Chains A and B, each alone.
Chain A
């Protein structure tokens, strides 16, 4: 059993993710006007249709290709000595520091703390009737799971099959699927945690929600 508070402390100690922007292919590099410490933004717009901040251009065969920031953050290092030189594919050009947001921190913690039960194929999923009753009456966390119990009805093109739970015993902590919507194969349906860890996880989540400072 791993220590969830320790994980949180670790994240707090280094609350960012380092992104290395590398050359996608060989070519001559020209850096854009970015300096160490300056802020960059990732793709924006409703459909992420606007590109992020321009970091550099790489030219090969008279084809200038822009390289944009993929996440928002701070420029940690620009490898200026590569300016105007011919680089190999994969050569690091810029290092970005992306500060984790609340959601990202929670995602990291929950990914480690929960057992995710994934959808075996693309279909619509519903709780089995008796489970559904319980979920509706007193919330998903009241359902205790054990190996082999009938948990889901998997419905695909109007054909239905029941799906049994497999994995460690515990309670449902999070539900990731929507009613009447298709879930792709491999996507998580529920997150399960051991009953004794439930209060701890809730506590940590509450702490992250209230205490985590989002940095630009």
Chain B
């Protein structure tokens, strides 16, 4: 390398250090700068005798300072590292880790979404004298060293849809998938397929993908990361971050900032610290399986040793997953078990593991993935159940397993066979009887007062209007009346200007009218108790797992107090209430996200309760209703403990649906972000009460990230319906009837009452 190039390279390294530390460690930077300047000066004067030696000394100094600064990296510095344009990106990995690759569906900006890169790649390995090319599908966000059109790796919904499409291709072809997460978060637009709904779809499909998936995290920003991050092995680069929200976003929430105000750098730094976003933290909490060490201050495209190491790790991870489900391969498994850290005994390029699986191995792979995620974050929620209760619950669980096996699997199968046979015979007989009896009926009908004269009752039913109010409406006699109905005041409907609604008297509005404007049908939000009392059968609610409590697993400063306040105010232990109830004597399991409890945000406790509710519904063959009174997203103060609930709960839902259940989602007030982008959005039956706002990110966040103003009704339920995100909108007063209808007609081949 000639001198000019090498000095240029050093200047770039210096710029990188300066950017990363953003004003800290100035003395070190000044030292490097002065040394570099001095060298340049002497070079131009021609006073250096041995350019090469001097440059090498200077490079050594750079190495030394980089190593020294490495030890002092704070989490926020790491955030700046992964966002730096000089950081490695997916294209560098494709160039240096894989032996060959072809990009699919895009070349630079000519792509449906340039921030999502998909490639067919292969890795060449040797087995003895044979060379074998092992194909993989590589999917990941591409930041492109700051290329404008890459949008910083912020993937639009259609980019995620493309990723899903090719995951399915890989599944058909039976090749492993390597995903690389380089995203600050998903691009929050609602245009079809919709940011949240598409991520939910991705999660749902990935939960059942029948090929090994290996994920490597560099920048794991919340929902965007989850869209491709659900995998059998999760590796993480040592300078990466994996978090529920960007530190700036967390600071904006913590500092209660509004309308684009900037948070103070100290607050951002503190949030980054408290969110536990680094690789070590995530490894300790178990959300990452292994950390891939990077060179000091993070990998850049010229760190070829790093790419070699990454290649080994990727191969190792894929081999481990394959051999883990494949059966007998003792020697190769031993090589893999010889842990990293120790001197590498064998280059994995020289060992061959066929990356394809038999059908039964694929089953094992998927069930292992489910078990892996099910174990995560169990300890992050406080389970206050006494030991005896836990034991008895376990006993009941086991009993239900056995009971439903006999009742639904064993007995019902045979019963069904006989029942089908009887049905067939009956139908045949019916047709025969019709034929035989037809002449006789003709004669009797012709006689006056014959059997086929229509009765008065049917005549009235056919000729008069039915009364809409008859049963569902209860004539306004609801069994729960909101406390707001006790105030003597008038309320103005927000549509009064456009629809000319007159003022409504609060006792009427929140009492008899069930919070619905009688002029325009606008739905005022109601308390969750209203639904508990008016939707389900009287006295049928039986809560379970009430003792599982929301905690503060990260020890987030000041959060304990806030949590205590929420518990005191609502009288609940967490934002998710799970119970069994009946609607018109059909038993069902309900998981309810309650808006007054910290905005209905989902953390480890809520996730755990949701998963257990789904399991319970599965065991008992009950329908499962997720009633979302309101949710603001994942609880950011729990960091990755919260984010991991997205794949976790989605997998639980998938298990439930695959077992033949009916999973219904009913949105009520404001439903946003993570939960919507996972276990709620993946339901094929999502309905909404008219009062709902449904979306991925709120208006403020959209404005900030996309710079586009959004119309005031952007998130309204009707817009969500037009975009195809939900399947229907219900009047609040009809919720019970519609639910009843849904329970009887939708989904589920394996429900107890069918």
Contacts and interface: CB of A to CB of B under 8 A. Distances in A.
A63 B490 contact: yes
B505 interface: yes
B498 to A, nearest CB: 11
B165 interface: no
Nearest to B708: A46
A62 B490 contact: yes
A78 B207 CA distance: 66
A62 B503 CA distance: 11
A190 B686 CA distance: 48
Interface string B703-738: 000000101100000000000000000000000000
B124 interface: no
A155 B487 CA distance: 55
Contacts of B441: none
B126 interface: no
A62 B487 CA distance: 10
Interface residues of A, number: 10
A61 B507 CA distance: 12
Interface string B334-351: 000000000000000000
B711 A61 contact: no
Interface of B is mostly: loop
Interface string B479-508: 000000001111110000000000101000
Contacts of B490: 60-63
Which of B488, B490, B505 has the most A CB atoms < 10 Å from its CB?
A: B490
A47 B505 CA distance: 30
Interface in A11-53: 25, 45-47, 49
A63 B489 contact: yes
A65 B497 CA distance: 12
A63 B492 contact: yes
Contacts of B488: 61-62
Contact of A63 (B503, B709, B711): B503
B489 A62 contact: yes
A214 to B, nearest CB: 25
A60 B709 CA distance: 35
A49 B503 contact: no
Interface string B237-250: 00000000000000
Contact of A47 (B487, B489, B711): B711
B356 to A, nearest CB: 54
B712 A60 contact: no
Contact of A60 (B487, B503, B711): B503
A37 B566 CA distance: 49
A61 B712 contact: no
B709 A46 contact: yes
A61 B709 contact: no
B193 to A, nearest CB: 25
B197 to A, nearest CB: 25
A47 B712 contact: yes
Contacts of B712: 47, 49
Interface in A36-88: 45-47, 49, 60-63, 65
Contacts of A47: 711-712
A61 B505 contact: yes
Interface residues of B, number: 11
Contacts of B492: 63, 65
Contacts of B491: 63
A125 to B, nearest CB: 27
B502 to A, nearest CB: 9
A46 B491 CA distance: 28
A46 B711 contact: yes
A25 B503 CA distance: 10
B496 to A, nearest CB: 9
Interface string A88-109: 0000000000000000000000
A60 B492 CA distance: 11
Nearest to A66: B492
Contacts of B505: 61
Interface string B420-450: 0000000000000000000000000000000
B509 to A, nearest CB: 11
Contacts of A62: 487-490
Nearest to B712: A49
Interface string A150-193: 00000000000000000000000000000000000000000000
Contacts of A63: 489-492, 503
A45 B505 CA distance: 32
A45 B710 CA distance: 10
Nearest to A51: B497
A45 B191 CA distance: 22
Nearest to B505: A61
A79 to B, nearest CB: 23
Contact of B489 (A25, A46, A61): A61
Interface in B484-542: 487-492, 503, 505
A62 B489 CA distance: 5
B260 to A, nearest CB: 15
Contacts of A61: 488-490, 503, 505
A60 B505 CA distance: 11
B522 to A, nearest CB: 16
B504 to A, nearest CB: 9
Nearest to A64: B492
Nearest to B711: A47
A49 B711 CA distance: 8
Nearest to B709: A46
Interface in B657-713: 709, 711-712
Given A49-B711, A61-B488, A65-B492, 10 more contacts: A25-B503, A47-B712, A61-B490, A61-B503, A62-B488, A62-B489, A62-B490, A63-B490, A63-B491, A63-B503
6 contacts: A46-B711, A61-B489, A61-B503, A62-B488, A62-B490, A63-B503
